[in-house]
């Protein structure tokens, strides 16, 4: 059993470890802390972001970067969610070693000095495409847009006498631009929303789109980031459609 009095030299131990272990398209960066209240920090290369957390452990992990191993008898089960929410999607992050936030661990962990080890996966940001204006429409046609934060809904309504005939743009993620000219963010975009928008809007004068369960089933394009739904529809006179049938 270790003494309750921490040796004075421990305060000179580095509480921050950064090590890039690969120079390929994806890079692993490690962070470490051995002191409660100190921070384990991750910094990706410039213009790169954290895309995953392959390993994180608060307790008695062993090994060296990036090949850490957790100790099951002394391991926090909440630390991964905390680290992911602080780091994923960002260029850098700092995680404070905090027993109250990560614990309680109990068991054989009482009166044992614990440590924090984490490995982050960094990847380069994909270039964001420029916004290309949508083509001009015939005088009787018009664009209508709807956008809403994640977990909220947006209603798109065509002018009187018109219905939705086409969905030129739909994105669930981090689209940029203003109505009706948007661009997807290739780093955070789900293609599932196009099918959902089409099934709910085509042929209708008005439609409401919210964060549907289908998007969760098909995957979250960027975990722990506040996303939004943006949809652009083309409206055309309903009478003209009937005449073409």
Distances (CA, A) of 209 to 45, 56, 172, 199, 227: 38, 37, 11, 10, 14
Q: What is the CATH number of the domain that holds 219?
A: 2.60.120.740
Q: What is the pLDDT of residues 171-184, one digit of tens each?
A: 998 899 999 999 99
Residues 148 and 112 in one domain: no
Sign of CA dihedral 88, 89, 92, 93: negative
Give the count of alpha carbons within 13 A of 41, CB side only.
Answer: 9
Residue 46: per-residue pLDDT: 86
Average pLDDT, the chain: 81
Domain containing residue 56: 27-124
- Match 């420029």 to its residue by tokens: 130
Structure-model confidence comparison of residues 190 and 68, the more confident one: 68
- What is the model's pLDDT at position 213? 62
Q: What pairing do the DSSP bridges indicate for beta strands 48-59 and 115-124? A: antiparallel
**Looking at the domain assignment, is residue 245 inside a domain?**
no
Number of domains in the chain: 2
202, 210 in Cβ contact below 8 A?
A: no
Question: Domain check: are 232 and 147 in the same one?
Answer: yes
The answer on pLDDT for 19 being more than 60 is: no
The answer to whether 233 and 158 have CB atoms below 8 angstroms apart is: yes
- Residue 151, Cα to own-chain centre: how many angstroms? 15
- The model's pTM: 0.56
66 part of a folded domain: yes
Residue 236 in contact with residue 163, Cβ under 8 Å? Answer: yes
Q: Does one domain contain both 164 and 214?
A: yes
Mean pLDDT of 163-173: 93
- Tell me the C-alpha to C-alpha distance, in Å, between residue 85 and each of 20, 46, 88, 180, 225: 22, 21, 6, 32, 8
Tens digit of each residue's pLDDT (9 = 90 or more) over 28-61: 999 999 998 999 999 999 888 888 889 999 999 9
**What was the pLDDT predicted at 243?**
38
Tokens of 194: 């196009």
9, pLDDT greater than 60: no
Residue in 151, 132, 140 with CA at minimum distance from that of residue 238: 140
Question: Tokens in use for 226?
Answer: 């506040």
């Amino acid at each position: 059993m270790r003494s309750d009095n921490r040796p004075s030299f421990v305060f000179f131990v580095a509480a921050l470890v950064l090590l890039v272990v690969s120079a390929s398209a994806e890079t692993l960066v490690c962070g470490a802390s051995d002191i409660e209240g100190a921070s384990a920090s991750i910094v990706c290369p410039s213009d790169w972001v954290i895309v995953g957390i392959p390993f994180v452990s608060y307790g008695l992990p062993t090994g060296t970067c990036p090949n850490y191993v957790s100790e099951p008898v002394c391991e926090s089960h909440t630390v991964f969610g905390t680290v992911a929410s602080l780091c994923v999607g960002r260029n850098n992050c700092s995680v404070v070693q905090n027993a109250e936030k990560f614990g309680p661990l109990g068991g054989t962990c009482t009166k044992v000095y614990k440590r924090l080890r984490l490995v982050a996966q960094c990847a380069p940001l994909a270039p964001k495409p420029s916004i290309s204006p949508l083509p001009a429409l015939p005088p009787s046609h018009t664009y209508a847009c709807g956008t809403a934060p994640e977990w909220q809904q947006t209603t798109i309504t065509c002018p009187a006498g018109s219905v939705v005939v086409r969905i030129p743009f739909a994105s669930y993620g981090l689209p940029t631009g203003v109505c009706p000219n948007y661009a997807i963010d290739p780093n955070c975009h789900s293609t599932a929303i196009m099918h959902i928008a089409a099934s709910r809007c085509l042929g209708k004068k008005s439609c409401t789109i919210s964060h549907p369960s289908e998007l969760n089933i098909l995957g979250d394009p960027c975990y722990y980031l506040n996303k939004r739904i943006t949809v652009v529809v083309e409206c055309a006179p309903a009478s003209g459609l009937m005449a073409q049938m």
